[in-house]
Amino acid sequence: MDDIILKVENISKQYRLGVIGTGTISHDLNRWWSKIRGKEDPYLKIGDTNDRSVKGKNNYVWALEDISFEIKKGEILGVIGKNGAGKSTLLKILSKVTSPSTGIIKSRGRIASLLEVGTGFHPELTGRENIFLNGAILGMTKPEIKSKLDEIIDFSGCMRYIDTPVKRYSSGMKVRLAFAVAAHLEPEILVVDEVLAVGDAEFQKKAIGKMQDISKGEGRTVIFVSHDMDAMLKLTKRCILLENGRVKENGATGKVVSKYLSDQSVEKSTLQWEKEDAPGNQFAKLLKVSVLSDDNSVKFNFDLTEKVFIEFEYLDLNEENKNTAILHIINEFGTTLFASNEFDNPEWESYHDQKTSKIITKCAIPGNFLSEGMYSVLVAVGSYNPSMVHVKIEGALNFRIINNPDILKTQKNVGGKWPGLIRPMLKWTIEKEGI
């Protein structure tokens, strides 16, 4: 109980859609009229779920609905969700930029936000002056900033330009400076939104490291919002998934992230085209790709032990070179596990004799090899020497590997997700010596 630093209870936020300014006075009067009669706000009752893509029935929506969670001291909490899921609204409420329509947030520490870095930077002021201004906007006092000035300048890596007006800075430098100021803030809770999207790789690494230091070494709490799942996995242990203004998942980051990613993809087990509109060029046209099980039926969910077959059907029109089907297997975190080529078949050359034909080829991915999770397949047809890609479709297919304990015969361990990107069954030799 005592180590809970922030408690969010049933927070909701209502917004009015459409053109602000038409009818607001009448609505305001209506509100005021029901208020003096001691009635409820008439517009707080009607409200749709916040789904961006569906046309709503009325002009009021709940951007957030009944959000509750707790954060422990020193924890980094991630918040993920699609655009418009309510992430920014939540952060705005947390950082007191706007207030909730209902609900309450209780906090044991000061909250400082970094909703977009460089807030309040004035282009005419120098870097140094902006450090002071920005720091003060974020809630630091002048002596506090002064004592950390050298550290901030050093962290930003903008020493050379520190007395140059910020308008001469590159956008990356501005971000560095701004993040440096924010990272040296003193508040117990830091709210960070999408900072890592900018800045070069070196700085991103530095920023991630600093955020880890903040929570581990200095015991401060961070709420981190990003679309960068990689950074999310690196930084946070716990994560909240927002969907249409509600908390959909709240748990270990790995689980929540994969849930989020798999939610986004629909089952794509087969793709087929007519000859006329088949994707490709004059060398090759893709007719059909599918994920098959060993009985040649289209399948989405595979058991750990099962073989997964990826089948290609394409028109080989290449009269100059030998075509090959290519596939990439990409896991739910966006990492390409491996690529494979049709030319791995020893008789490949004999099938591609520079005559127009239809090729049907199938790649077998062994069972007991991929670990559990969602996979997407990039399919392509190309030729080598010179390298040419005739057709390429990212995320053309997908499938899921599940660990079904009922039919688990070969793999003995069941509990939980295994570490590692793949989960191969390898040969172990055992010897036993009597002592």
Partner 1 sequence: MKQTKNTWLFEISPKKNLFAFDFREIWRYRDLLLLFVKRDVITLYKQTILGPLWYLIQPLLTSVIFTLIFNSVAGIKTGEIPPFLFNLTGVTAWNYFKDCLTNTADTFKKNEHIFSKVYFPRVVMPMSVVISNMLKFGIQLLILTFFYLYFVFYQGYDIQPNIMLLFFPVLIIIMALLGLGFGMIISSMTTKYRDLSFLVTFGVQLLMYISAVVYPLEVIKEKAAQYAWIVEYNPMTTIIETFRFMMLDQGVFTLNWILYAILISGLVFLTGLLVFNRTEKNFIDTV
Residues making contact with partner 1 (CB under 8 A)? 1-2, 7, 15-16, 20-21, 24-25, 92-110, 112-113, 115-116, 119-120, 122, 124-125, 129, 132-133, 136-142
Q: What is the closest distance, in whole angstroms, from the C-beta atom of residue 231 to partner 1 in the complex?
A: 21
* Beta carbon nearer to partner 1, 72 or 96: 96
Q: What is the closest distance, in whole angstroms, from the C-beta atom of residue 213 to partner 1 in the complex?
A: 23
Q: State the residue for tokens 């098959």.
A: 292
- 223 Cβ contact list (under 8 Å, min separation 6): 71, 76, 77, 79, 91, 94, 189, 190, 191, 192
Stated as kind and residue range, the H or E segment containing 67 is: strand 60-72
DSSP result, 91-107:
HHHHTTSS--SEEEEEE
* Beta carbon nearer to partner 1, 84 or 103: 103
Closest CA to 320 of 269, 368, 385, 375: 385
* Beta carbon nearer to partner 1, 183 or 310: 183
Q: What is the closest distance, in whole angstroms, from the C-beta atom of residue 126 to partner 1 in the complex?
A: 9
Q: What is the closest distance, in whole angstroms, from the C-beta atom of residue 197 to partner 1 in the complex?
A: 16
* Beta carbon nearer to partner 1, 93 or 222: 93
Q: What is the closest distance, in whole angstroms, from the C-beta atom of residue 227 to partner 1 in the complex?
A: 18
User: Residue 57 gets which letter from DSSP?
Assistant: S
Q: Where are the beta strands (DSSP E) in 115-170?
A: none
* Beta carbon nearer to partner 1, 138 or 330: 138
Q: How far apart are CA 134 and CA 174, in angstroms?
A: 12
Q: What is the closest distance, in whole angstroms, from the C-beta atom of residue 260 to partner 1 in the complex?
A: 26
* Beta carbon nearer to partner 1, 137 or 317: 137
**Contact present, 274 and 288 (Cβ < 8 Å):** no
Residue 117 CB-density burial (10 A; 0-12 exposed, 13-18 middle, 19+ buried)? buried
* Beta carbon nearer to partner 1, 179 or 302: 179
Query: What Å distances lie between residue 327 and 343, 371, 397, CA to CA?
Result: 12, 18, 10
Q: How far apart are CA 86 and CA 102, in angstroms?
A: 15
Q: What is the closest distance, in whole angstroms, from the C-beta atom of residue 16 to partner 1 in the complex?
A: 8
Q: What is the closest distance, in whole angstroms, from the C-beta atom of residue 432 to partner 1 in the complex?
A: 58
* Beta carbon nearer to partner 1, 75 or 249: 75
Residue 252's φ and ψ, nearest 5 degrees, are -60, 135
First to last CA, the chain: 53
User: Residue 371 gets which letter from DSSP?
Assistant: -
